[in-house]
Structure 1
Amino acid sequence: MLKRYSLLWRLALVLVVVAVTTMVAGTRITGVLRDDAQRLNQQAIAIMQGYAAAAEQAWLTGGQAGVDQWLADMRSREAGDIAVISATDQSLSSVPLTEQERAGLRFQRGVDSRMSFRYGKKMPYLGVPFPVAPEQGSLLMQLPPRLRPGTYWPWVENLLLVGMPTLSAFLLGGLLFWRARVPLKALQAQVLGFKDDTQARVTGPLATRGDEFGELARSFNHMAEQVSGMLDTQRQLLNDMSHELRTPLSRLSVALESDMSEAELRQRVDQELHHMRTLVDDTLALGWQDTDTGTSGLESLSLTALWDMIVENAAFESGWDKRRFPCALPDDALVYGNLNVLAQVFENLVRNAIRHSPEQGTVQLLGQWEEGTWHLQVVDQGPGVPDDKLDRIFAPFVRLDAARADRSGFGLGLSIARRAVERLGGELWAHNGTPGLCVHLRLPAPPLV
């Protein structure tokens, strides 16, 4: 599963890493900025310490009256509660502490402490010791609104909540786009080059990657091989057919220029037209096999029933007795394929065997079960084929006259048969028997239900 969808899991891993990194980085950055936003800046600290120094000076020089005068002056300058208290938390002015000031005394903060954002419009109380004689008292004062830290924090917090994920998404999108664009551009270049050069293939690291891009590259190479092979085959077929057509056309030209009677000329024209029609039909059948996948109309087929049908037609065409086509297969032998395709395959093999069999020869069908397939053999009693040319007999337009004395046919039957079997997922090959030629077929059995 992981290997099959490696790109998916890589992308998922990247997304998880980016998401976790964004969360961790966002949390830490937010924490640092939040802590900084909750603390007084140096200017505010200096102002508060200056007020504490002025309160100390008023106490030391004027006592209670001096403190009263200083408080009156301060209340005209700053909003909020202001008090000067002793070390025992008693007012050093002539006015005792109010309940609100005593509550503020209990929750006072130092100038270096963090200020909570939960106070709202109510400012926190700060306790600032006398700078020279802190044992004599301190200043208790509500923080002036103008000195309140973090007034910009709501904007910064919203920016962090939206900006960090947005930035991560853009960076991730850019990275993924770049990583995907490089192999896609390489593949695009090969696809565009294929129209001018059918040998163009995807090579290098892209073709060996283990992810979906690698699979796509290999699929393109496979498709290119098939298309290139199909084009080469069709060109070769066209050239070979053109060459083969010259012979009957030349004979027709000679016949037309000769002194043959009309009846003889008609017979010759009919014979040559039959040869040319057979050549064209077989060539088209071979050409269509390159474009047909052969996977339509698949079904379970009885080999004995199929052989009986082939024997019926072959006996009628050749005049052979049906007993010269023995079958050594069990009645329950089944293969999985297309009836018309397999019928054409066996017809070609049987016709080829009959054509090269001696008088009173036989053509028999043998076979055995081999791990989900049927291994079949069509065996004749003809002269066979030289061992070094056994594979050539399956090439189009190949006729081994030295091995087969009969010159009829165009050498397409075995080629058509092999391609048809391969399209069905099987194999076809040959070897020499004693005597005759033995053509092997390996065909898939029906899938288990």
Structure 2
Amino acid sequence: MSALPSRHSLFWKLLALTLGACLLIVWLSWSWGRAMEIRGYHLEPAARAELSELAGQLERAWHSEGRAGVERVLARLRETEGVWAIALDPLFQSLAQAPLTRAEAERLRGVRGLDWPLSARTQGAPLLEVPFPQRPEEGRLILELPARLKPDPVGLVSRLLSHGLLPLIVTLALCALLYRQLMVPLRRLRQQALITGARGAAFVAPEITRRRDELGDLGRTFDGMAARLQGQTRYQQRLLRDLSHELRTPLSRLQVLCEGQDDAHALRARLAREVQGMQQLVELTLELAWLDTEPPALPRESVALATLWDILVEDAVFESGWPRARLHCGLPADATVLANLNALSRALENLLRNAIRHSPLTGHIRLDGRREGPDWLFWIEDQGPGVPAAALDFIFEPFSRLNGARPGGDGYGLGLSIARSAIRLQGGELQAENRHPGLRLTLRLPAA
């Protein structure tokens, strides 16, 4: 089972937005719907004022005419409104001429105050108690609520607003937030990818890379890819520019040869040498470009450094004519590293040839090293003049030559670049340092 999303995962943001939207929909529907329902339960202020005015008319008639006046006002109210109405004193005795009957007394059980909630769905008219406005202790008016004063029930439009339109608005807002969280960054990444494919590397906007969720991780990964692509593009452009520069010289010599008057035998010999040099240059350049732009998955095995050095020394003695006694090895026999045999031997061969090329005729070259934790640190030292301190890293650049600093300006300046690329493909590193005299090329590889 996969692990839970991280604390800053996009999952939690989407979950919070969805839950928040659901809770907001429930709250709005409940609160607004309840407010409209409550509004339909209570009398409007105008209806309360009109009922209080009826009670005031009854109070004035009681003070001026007594029971006869009360009877007159009640009769007019029953006639105009078509409702049942009576007037009572604090002891629930009728203020009109006719006494309170048992049936009328039974009806008084359902009487309500003006501030009480009224249900519009109740069958029949509710009974309301309206005290006299000036002297409520003297009496009150009890009547059926006229139909024209009943609260308006909650209509279909109001229900659609509270239970339909509001949830729809919240849902649209949620969709907009989700779109902003997901589609806007993805659309920007797509635009950057199109720019990257059309014009070279382009980097993602900072507002995306600063995010701490999966989209931020995607943006940072895209930036890393764009940086690598930009570096590889620049590297290939520089490599192509340097290669074209290197090929101009032999091509110029070939042109001079074609225009010269040399005999056919000398011309063929010179032509073969120039073609062989150009072929070697192209092969080395292609190998370097392949190593740096399409790194292969190199199988690794245990490689004994001392044994590999002996094999390389035999070839070097045959090619250079150096005495074997001037090529030393100070590594123990059990010095083994985890590396690809072919790639490591090619890299050490380039370093050995470089050391022989730049060492004096009576110089010595030595392979030595030591174990450092999980790695072997080993180096090749020559006795040449070294290189300027500022150029210790420059010598690993393609087509780099320091003929003014070290004798023997032959070669194409690709051997050290290929060696470093091959070592890095095996999880190692290659560095250079001056030893006064001489140059030390240090390699680090994991021990077997």
- TM-score, L = length of structure 1: 0.73
Alpha-carbon shift at residue 414 of structure 1 (Å): 0.8
Alpha-carbon shift at residue 55 of structure 1 (Å): 6.1
Counterpart AA for 1:113: W
**Could you tell me which residue of structure 2 aligns to residue 376 of structure 1?**
377
Alpha-carbon shift at residue 251 of structure 1 (Å): 3.9
User: Aligned to 2:39, which of 36, 39, 51?
Assistant: 36
Closer/same/farther in 2, CA of residues 21 and 397 from structure 1, 3 Å limit: same
**Could you tell me which residue of structure 1 aligns to residue 304 of structure 2?**
304
Q: Pick which of 358-367 and 228-237 moved more.
A: 358-367
Alpha-carbon shift at residue 3 of structure 1 (Å): 9.5
Return 5+ residue gaps in structure 1 as ranges.
none
Alpha-carbon shift at residue 228 of structure 1 (Å): 3.2
**Could you tell me which residue of structure 2 aligns to residue 409 of structure 1?**
411
Closer/same/farther in 2, CA of residues 52 and 5 from structure 1, 3 Å limit: same
Is the Cα–Cα contact under 8 Å of residues 237 and 396 in structure 1 kept in the other structure?
yes
**Could you tell me which residue of structure 1 aligns to residue 8 of structure 2?**
5
**Could you tell me which residue of structure 2 aligns to residue 353 of structure 1?**
355
Alpha-carbon shift at residue 242 of structure 1 (Å): 1.8
Alpha-carbon shift at residue 419 of structure 1 (Å): 3.4
Closer/same/farther in 2, CA of residues 11 and 252 from structure 1, 3 Å limit: same
User: Aligned to 1:98, which of 95, 103, 108?
Assistant: 103
Is the Cα–Cα contact under 8 Å of residues 86 and 138 in structure 1 kept in the other structure?
yes
- In the alignment, the residues of structure 1 paired with residue 134 and residue 238 of structure 2 have an alpha-carbon distance, to the nearest angstrom, of 109
**Could you tell me which residue of structure 1 aligns to residue 51 of structure 2?**
48
Closer/same/farther in 2, CA of residues 17 and 341 from structure 1, 3 Å limit: farther
Deviations 1:330-355 (A, max 9, x none): 747544x6666545433433343344
Closer/same/farther in 2, CA of residues 200 and 131 from structure 1, 3 Å limit: closer
Closer/same/farther in 2, CA of residues 421 and 26 from structure 1, 3 Å limit: farther
Closer/same/farther in 2, CA of residues 122 and 352 from structure 1, 3 Å limit: farther
Is the Cα–Cα contact under 8 Å of residues 326 and 364 in structure 2 kept in the other structure?
no
- In the alignment, the residues of structure 1 paired with residue 337 and residue 267 of structure 2 have an alpha-carbon distance, to the nearest angstrom, of 50
Is the Cα–Cα contact under 8 Å of residues 22 and 165 in structure 1 kept in the other structure?
yes
- In the alignment, the residues of structure 2 paired with residue 160 and residue 330 of structure 1 have an alpha-carbon distance, to the nearest angstrom, of 87
- Secondary structure in structure 1 of the residue aligned to 2:111: coil
User: Aligned to 2:115, which of 101, 112, 118?
Assistant: 112
- Secondary structure in structure 2 of the residue aligned to 1:109: strand
**Could you tell me which residue of structure 1 aligns to residue 275 of structure 2?**
273
**Could you tell me which residue of structure 1 aligns to residue 314 of structure 2?**
315
Aligned-CA RMSD value:
4.7
Counterpart AA for 1:73: E
Closer/same/farther in 2, CA of residues 65 and 408 from structure 1, 3 Å limit: closer
Counterpart AA for 1:62: A
**Could you tell me which residue of structure 2 aligns to residue 77 of structure 1?**
82
User: Aligned to 2:331, which of 320, 328, 331?
Assistant: 328
- In the alignment, the residues of structure 2 paired with residue 126 and residue 234 of structure 1 have an alpha-carbon distance, to the nearest angstrom, of 95
Is the Cα–Cα contact under 8 Å of residues 26 and 160 in structure 1 kept in the other structure?
yes
Report matched runs for 1:204-283 at 5 Å.
206=207, 209=210, 211=212, 219=221, 221-256=223-258, 257-260=260-263, 262=265, 264-283=266-285
Alpha-carbon shift at residue 132 of structure 1 (Å): 5.6
Alpha-carbon shift at residue 238 of structure 1 (Å): 1.8
Counterpart AA for 1:428: L
Report matched runs for 1:156-175 at 5 Å.
156-171=158-173, 173-174=175-176
Alpha-carbon shift at residue 280 of structure 1 (Å): 0.6
Alpha-carbon shift at residue 383 of structure 1 (Å): 1.1
Alpha-carbon shift at residue 439 of structure 1 (Å): 1.1
**Could you tell me which residue of structure 2 aligns to residue 129 of structure 1?**
131
**Could you tell me which residue of structure 2 aligns to residue 291 of structure 1?**
293
Is the Cα–Cα contact under 8 Å of residues 377 and 440 in structure 1 kept in the other structure?
yes
**Could you tell me which residue of structure 2 aligns to residue 364 of structure 1?**
367
Deviations 1:287-307 (A, max 9, x none): 234422x3x6366542427x7
Closer/same/farther in 2, CA of residues 113 and 312 from structure 1, 3 Å limit: same
Alpha-carbon shift at residue 144 of structure 1 (Å): 4.0
Count of aligned pairs between the two proteins: 432
Counterpart AA for 2:311: E
- Secondary structure in structure 2 of the residue aligned to 1:379: strand
Is the Cα–Cα contact under 8 Å of residues 85 and 143 in structure 2 kept in the other structure?
yes
Is the Cα–Cα contact under 8 Å of residues 209 and 215 in structure 1 kept in the other structure?
no
Q: Pick which of 392-401 and 14-23 moved more.
A: 14-23
Alpha-carbon shift at residue 283 of structure 1 (Å): 0.9
Counterpart AA for 1:111: L
- TM-score, L = length of structure 2: 0.73
- Secondary structure in structure 2 of the residue aligned to 1:98: helix
Alpha-carbon shift at residue 427 of structure 1 (Å): 3.2
